[in-house]
Amino acid sequence: MSRIATTFARLRREKRLGLLAYLTVGYPTLDATPALVEAAVAEGADAIELGIPFSDPLADGRTIQAASQIALKAGVTVRRALEVAALCRASTDVPLLFMTYLNPILAFGLDRFCERARAVGIDGLIVPDLPAGDSDDLRGCASAAGLDTVFFVSPTSNEAGIQAACQAATGFVYCVAVTGTTGARAQLDAAVLPLIDSVRRHTTLPIVVGFGISRPAHLAALEGHADGAIVASALLDAIGEAPDDAANQVRRFLRGLRTPA
């Protein structure tokens, strides 16, 4: 079994909602990411999503766009992200996934990117601007390299779109909790629980909810419905409040997120 499948099998046995933490490679500084991954795992993150910065991140809100710009100005490239991922893998056994857009992968080369990603310890790929119906080439390269692929469904997805995403995905299905871009929200969209139910009709894969997750109440609302939740913008916001103390900010935020109000 892959690390992703093994992790979610364990979470199901433990009857626990998984917590996935998103970090932008190279934010807040070029060399910060491995220590932030260690801090997140120490505070209970079950998997890590490593964002490769891109100049035109259409699915991302203000926080992740700003973090990406800082990382790009610091010199983060796909090659550098691969090097950082190798350092992260050396210190943890939890699943690591790359989140990036299609253009950087194509520029690097599909086969080459997938092979290198697997070689440095990446377990899966999330490409938000690649529809499931257009993903045959990437999925073929990823499968050959032993990488899982993750696809999105949202409150605006119709049944055909949900079915296509579920058929294409191998690691888990990513349910977008809000309509729009990433960013912390005060409340979860009321449509997310019915969306999870719709996805369950099409797949036995784990279902993970992201976009807007920022509070203990959000995790509580997903318990018993989703298999995991991804925290992204809210975690980066916490890092941005004290970038010189980023690792401790990660610890404090994730500890608070796991503490019921």
N residues, the chain: 261
The number of beta carbons lying within 10 Å of the beta carbon of residue 115 is 15
Helix (H) or strand (E) holding 169: none
Instruction: Name the catalytic one among 49, 123, 189, 237.
Output: 49
172 with 209: CB under 8 angstroms?
no
Distance between CA 93 and CA 172 in Å, rounded?
18
Give 190-248 as a DSSP string: TTHHHHHHHHHTT--S-EEEESS--SHHHHHHHTTT-SEEEE-HHHHHHHHH-GGGHHH
Active site residue: 31, 38, 46, 60, which one?
60
Helices (H), 120-191: 136-145, 159-168
C-alpha–C-alpha distance, residues 29 and 204, integer Å: 39
- CA 193 to chain CA mean position, Å: 19
Following CA atoms 97, 102, 107, 110 in sequence, which dihedral angle do they give, to the nearest 10 degrees?
Answer: 60
Is 49 a catalytic site residue? yes
Question: Does 134 qualify as catalytic in the annotation?
Answer: no
Task: Confirm if 125 and 101 have CB atoms less than 8 A apart.
Answer: no
Instruction: Give one DSSP letter per residue of 69-103, joined into a string.
Output: HHHHHTT--HHHHHHHHHHHHTT--S-EEEE--HH
Angle at CA 166, nearest 5°, toward 146 and 182?
A: 90
Any idea which residues carry the catalytic annotation?
A: 49, 60
